[in-house]
Structure 1
Amino acid sequence: MTESILAITGPTSGIGRAAVKELVNDFDRILLLARNMEKAAYLKQELLELNPEANLGIIECDLSVLDSVKQAAENIKNKVNHIDCLVNNAGIVSTTHKKSADGYELMMATNYIGPFFLTHELLPLVMKSEQKQVVVVTSGAYKFAPMKKPFFKPKRFNAISGYGRSKLGILYLAQELHEFYSRKGLRTTAVHPGAVSTNLGKDNVSRKVADAIFALLDPFFVSVEEGSQSVIKAVRQPEKYAGFYSNQGEIAAVKQYGSDFKMRREFIDATLEELDLKAL
């Protein structure tokens, strides 16, 4: 039996932090992909207190910067020859229009483009493993707005639709992985864990706008611990959730724009072209 390895993005706060603390005993090795190295080091110490025998690696990775994602993937390839479970958990909500270092709308860059590229780079390692699992954290917010052009650099910004489209994109990624790799043994799950209110960025925006966004997202709010359970369940029960959308731990039908196959194909193809990739 080979060493079991988990790789997870966004582990230093919120749902990711709660999930990895519970999963620390489930894998022989855990790779923590984090943007903030100080927070990652602190998390590592916390995890070692929970399991002194844990084999933990910290990989610097800013998902909003493609060069950082590329370097992180290379670092991982130099450390391991397989990954049993890749959890694309990291994500942001931005209430103001910001651009990534590569010129993309920041939420689309962080929540979709970066994870897409990371998955592309690490998928060969996942397919070499015994478990062969990818879990992506999406959101019920995918129903907020249809995907539309320009996909990655919108001319107008709306926080709600921008966030929704970034989460619709990562849902499309999960669907794409299942369609093309499930027959090769890959188990993919898209998870809506519920939104954690403390993750909502209200900085640099008027109180009126922030409160309006908060009110619209309020039906999705759950505690960090509640949200993490949907990720943990997917990781621990890959067969049960393979190929499905998990709504807070319950298998649910994908609605509205999430079932638009024609748009998914167009969007995925546009992503491949944008990243100069031949295939996922």
Structure 2
Amino acid sequence: MADDWNIHGKTVVVTGATSGIGRETALALAGMGATVVLAVRNQEAGQETAAMIRQNSLSMTSDDWISSLAVGPKLELAQPSSIRSFATQYQKQNRPLHVLVNNAGANYLSEGLSEDGVPLLTQVNYLGPYMLTRLLEGSLVASAPSRVINVSSVTHRYGLIENPANFLSRMRIIGALQATKLGNVLFTYELQRRLGHLGVQACAVDPGAVSTNIYKDSSLFTRQPLKWLIQNLYAPPSDGAAAVVHAASAPWQRQPKKPENLACLQFFARGVFAWPAITAFKGQQQGVIGNLRMQGWALRALSLSALDWPLRRLTQGRGLSQTRAVPSAPASYDQHLAAALWDLSADKGKLPRDISVGGRQI
């Protein structure tokens, strides 16, 4: 049985909404009648995005809808103080919050630290969304039923977090992105365990292989032939946003009440990224055999990523457009790791470890 859910009239916050998947997600959800708040670091670009969405929708929507689009307070995920300021200002506006889409992220950042001593990539991709969600948890509970959508990646499947304390305090050049994307899924599932009974659903999404600005600062993906592959074979952001839009707007199957039941934990993907050839990978393993399996899977995943969008165009989406729940990496179901990461993240972000609603910890 599906949950009774309709995005029309609901208030949605989308982070990183001035380009790529975030902008296309905001455009799609606004077109479905949601009240969309653009949470961005560049306010001028936010206003330009809002104008673009209004202009593209003038012919199909009413003036009532146009007024339901807003540029929120400035949000810079690299700066914990900015995250706190955003949450404070948002709550002062007395807006409901039915859907929080944690889309903003980065891939190639300097080796610097945030003001709280967290590696910048970890701060932007993992701890920033964690802090934002925790600071807005009261609004999410008050608006329930509500949802948190965390945009992860296929790379989480070979991510590794051996020590949560090190993950939050030490820069790892090799495997840093993958670790942050695994952290997104671990956080998603722990959030579901802690807030699910209060009507807040959480899921993670793999948007697939998408040609966005996330590759622009890479020394590898800006060289041929990978640059050509991304520009010509990866999906445009409008297609990449489809799985995120589905997670935010479509009814989910009604969830079991016990949070330890794996059916409660939702990870969405589409196209080849929902195929067992991708989802059956068991993650990093020790030894020569484990390394060979890892390399074989990585080659298979890269090959399939180059086929996903061309096959969808060739077949006009038949069999490759549906978004569905699939298994995430085995490491993402580690409850002890998720709980430890949650607690250490709360400490790092100067937040209570327990959920706090209306001034009461629950």
Which TM-score bucket, shorter chain as reference? Answer: 0.7 to 0.9
1:15-164 correspondence runs (5 A): 15-49=21-55, 50=57, 51=61, 52-53=63-64, 54=66, 55-59=68-72, 60-94=74-108, 96-149=110-163, 150-158=166-174, 161-164=175-178
1:259 and 1:186 map into 2 onto residues whose CA distance is: 19
1:222 and 1:258 map into 2 onto residues whose CA distance is: 26
Q: CA shift at 1:113, angstroms?
A: 0.7
Q: Give the match's secondary structure for 1:87.
A: strand
1:208 and 1:134 map into 2 onto residues whose CA distance is: 32
CA contact (8 A) 1:151 1:267 kept: no
Q: Give the match's secondary structure for 1:239.
A: coil
User: Is 1:193 the equivalent of 2:207?
Assistant: yes
Q: CA shift at 1:27, angstroms?
A: 4.0
Q: Which amino acid aligns with 2:111?
A: H
Q: CA shift at 1:81, angstroms?
A: 4.0
CA contact (8 A) 2:80 2:349 kept: no
Deviations 1:68-104 (A, max 9, x none): 0000011110112421111111111116534334332
2:337 and 2:195 map into 1 onto residues whose CA distance is: 20
Using the aligned pairs only, state the percent identity: 24
Q: Which amino acid aligns with 1:261?
A: Q
Q: Which amino acid aligns with 1:173?
A: F
1:209-228 correspondence runs (5 A): 211=223, 221-228=234-241
1:267-278 correspondence runs (5 A): 267-278=341-352
User: Is 1:258 the equivalent of 2:332?
Assistant: yes
**1:239 is matched with which residue?**
252
* Bigger Rg over Cα: 2
1:222 and 1:46 map into 2 onto residues whose CA distance is: 21
Give TM-score, length-normalised by structure 2. Answer: 0.69
Q: Which amino acid aligns with 1:7?
A: V
**1:10 is matched with which residue?**
16
Deviations 1:139-180 (A, max 9, x none): 11112231033112225422xx11111111111111011111
User: Is 1:184 the equivalent of 2:198?
Assistant: yes
Give TM-score, length-normalised by structure 1. Answer: 0.87
CA contact (8 A) 2:212 2:236 kept: no
Distance 1:155 1:74, change over 3 A: closer
Report how many residues are paired.
273
Distance 1:121 1:24, change over 3 A: same
Q: Which amino acid aligns with 1:151?
A: F
CA contact (8 A) 1:111 1:167 kept: yes
2:251 and 2:102 map into 1 onto residues whose CA distance is: 15
1:170-181 correspondence runs (5 A): 170-181=184-195
CA contact (8 A) 1:92 1:199 kept: no
**Contiguous gaps of at least 5 residues in structure 2:** 1-7, 256-264, 271-322, 356-362
Deviations 1:199-224 (A, max 9, x none): 33443x6x458659x59x97x95331
Distance 1:112 1:14, change over 3 A: same
Q: CA shift at 1:261, angstroms?
A: 2.2
CA contact (8 A) 1:83 1:125 kept: yes
Deviations 1:107-152 (A, max 9, x none): 2111111111110111111111143111111111112231033112
CA contact (8 A) 2:119 2:169 kept: yes
Q: CA shift at 1:274, angstroms?
A: 1.4
Q: Give the match's secondary structure for 1:154.
A: coil
Distance 1:178 1:192, change over 3 A: same
CA contact (8 A) 1:93 1:199 kept: no
Q: CA shift at 1:226, angstroms?
A: 1.8
Distance 1:179 1:100, change over 3 A: same
Q: Give the match's secondary structure for 2:347.
A: helix
Higher mean C-alpha deviation, range 72-81 or range 235-244: 235-244
**2:307 is matched with which residue?**
none
